[in-house]
Amino acid sequence: MKDNQSLIVFLVILGIILIGCVFCYTQLEIVPSTHWEGPSREVRANSFYALEKWLEESGHPVKTLTTGNVDTILNGSEKIIFLEISSFSWNKNPDLLIPWLEEGGRLIVSLDNYLNYRLREFMESFGITRDDDDETDTLLIAEEEEEEESGETEQKRSPYFDWHISFKRADPDAPLKYKTFVMNNSNGRTKLVKFEIGKGSLIFTGTANFLMNYALHEKENVDLAADIFLADITGGEQEILFIRSLSGNKGHLLGNLAERGNPAALIISLVLLIIAGFWMVIPLFGRYRPAQEKPGKPLHERFLAEGRFLK
């Protein structure tokens, strides 16, 4: 009798499970849930992460150095170099770079720090200097504005230039030594200067905000980045060298584990590890009961015992 009841209960439970499975399969739908995730630690630490990935996918491997000098440029194999002056040592006369530029080198200089006197003299030899006042003093005629068929002027958006750094002629009456191109912001101030030197080029700009991660979703920044790094490249793949700061580029071990894995699993594992450690260290002897202190032996007996031991 009991066997029949157990069989009936088993069949009822099995039927309920089958009905539930059929209902879920026919009436319910699996809908993927989406949620926003912020940038990874690697992206947050590297302001040029998107640019470097874009250049690499375009067939131009990227190499990064934290420090460099004139010899780094002259002795290296890279022909396209971007440098931040805060990570560059002007230990030699920059005029040594002129032959390298004439042979096809391309140097992009980001003025993200105070000017070294050698760099200031180098810029003045090209006829430009930093513009630290509020006056508009462009090097050449600004870019021509596009006109619509209606005759109205279309205002072009400028890239994300450094608001604090501008350029002007060192001597307004002296002619420029090389063929020069400039880019101005909406206020007419010169924010980027490009010199064509033989087969190569030299570019000066402020902090390269237009090359950073948050800027490359705008067309004007992408176009300028392509013109700086990818325009007029011949000979297939060319490695590009970045000499820039890497502050904060290395994350902590626990931070990387928590970011790439499941933080809950990491926390639970740490808690269990702590509990197991205390479990092994703290012995379990039951309730604490104070032991009755026994009287010690007289001091002369201890001396006699030590004397016998020594003998």
Helix/strand/coil for 202: strand
What is the mean pLDDT for each group of 10 consecutive residues in the chain (311 residues)? 70 86 84 77 85 92 93 93 93 92 94 90 92 59 40 65 90 85 88 94 94 92 93 77 75 54 76 81 61 73 82 77
Structure tokens at 294: 């026994």
How high is the pLDDT of residue 134?
A: 54
Give the pLDDT confidence score for residue 145 in this predicted structure. Answer: 39
Tens digits of per-residue pLDDT, 113-128? Answer: 888 899 999 999 999 9
**Predicted local distance difference test score (pLDDT) of residue 265:** 76
pLDDT of residue 310: 84
Listed residue (304, 301, 103, 111) closest to 206, CA to CA: 111
What is the rounded CA–CA span in Å between residue 164 and residue 110? Answer: 13
- Please tell me the predicted confidence (pLDDT) of residue 215: 92
- The pLDDT assigned to 119 comes to 93
Among 231, 230, 224, smallest CA distance to 210 is for: 224
Query: What is the per-residue pLDDT for 144?
Result: 39
Q: What are phi and psi of 197, to 5 degrees?
A: -120, 100
Q: Tell me what pLDDT residue 152 has.
A: 44
